Amino acid sequence: DIQMTQSPSSLSASVGDRVTLTCRASQGIGSDLCWYQQKPGKAPKALIYAASKLQSGVPSKFSGSGSGTEFTLTISSLQPEDFATYYCLQYYSYPRTFGQGTKLEL
Amino acid sequence: EVQLVESGGGLVQRGESLRLSCAASGFSINYHWMDWVRQAPGKGLEWVANINHDGSEKYYVGSVKGRFTISRDNARNLLFLQINSLRDEDTAVYYCSTALNNWGQGTLVAVSS
């Protein structure tokens, strides 16, 4: 199975900050990576697919990059509603695997 | 409006079985791969299984192979997850999803000894 490792596990930031979250794959996955945002008690929301493509309706403050084994999610100009847990997912092979998540805290 | 609504969760005894359903509305599931993902209390997301458009391809995470069965009824716009031989570690919120894009709100399965 491909292991996905996210760093950091938690991150403290302030409103207005720009932050970068990292996701590393244990083997190359091309660009077959998604990013999700999850708030407490809610379902995950898809943000990014194919490593860098924005899902419909997702604001451009979210951007993704990377390929192979290293990927990043950057969120610019943090707003209160952006504080949540973020997960990466690889869909290069089965089983699909998620990272353990990065909790973005105010 | 695209909507997915899961049902069928509840408190069950270890070793028992359960069938989860996911009802889609606002679109047809005919053309979509469908997935189940679960989340244990306070834990991260775990992909469980998916199924292709006509049900001819199914994939599972190793920990559920032989116990879980994913299926679909395109005519009724429904997705299912049959869960047998429930274990404590199956306790989780189960989400259905269209190819990991749109997600339902989840249904809680709690396994009691």
Q: What's the start-to-end Cα distance of chain B, in Å?
A: 40
Q: pLDDT tens, A30-44?
A: 999 999 999 999 999
Between β-strands B107-112 and B10-13, what pairing exists: parallel, antiparallel or unpaired?
parallel
Average predicted confidence (pLDDT) for chain B: 97
CB contact under 8 A, A46 and B59: no
Residue B113 to chain A, least CA–CA distance (Å) = 25
Residue B13 to chain A, least CA–CA distance (Å) = 24
Report pLDDT for A26: 98
- What mean pLDDT do residues A91-102 have? 98
Chain A residues with CB-CB distance to B101 below 8 A: 46, 49, 55
Q: Residue A9: CB partners within 8 Å, gap ≥ 6?
A: A100, A101, A102, A103
Q: pLDDT tens, B4-30?
A: 999 999 999 999 999 999 999 999 999
Chain B residues with CB-CB distance to A41 below 8 A: none
Rounded Cα gap, residues B25 and B27, in angstroms: 5
Report pLDDT for B113: 81
Q: pLDDT tens, A58-86?
A: 999 999 999 999 999 999 999 999 999 99
CB contact under 8 A, B103 and A46: yes
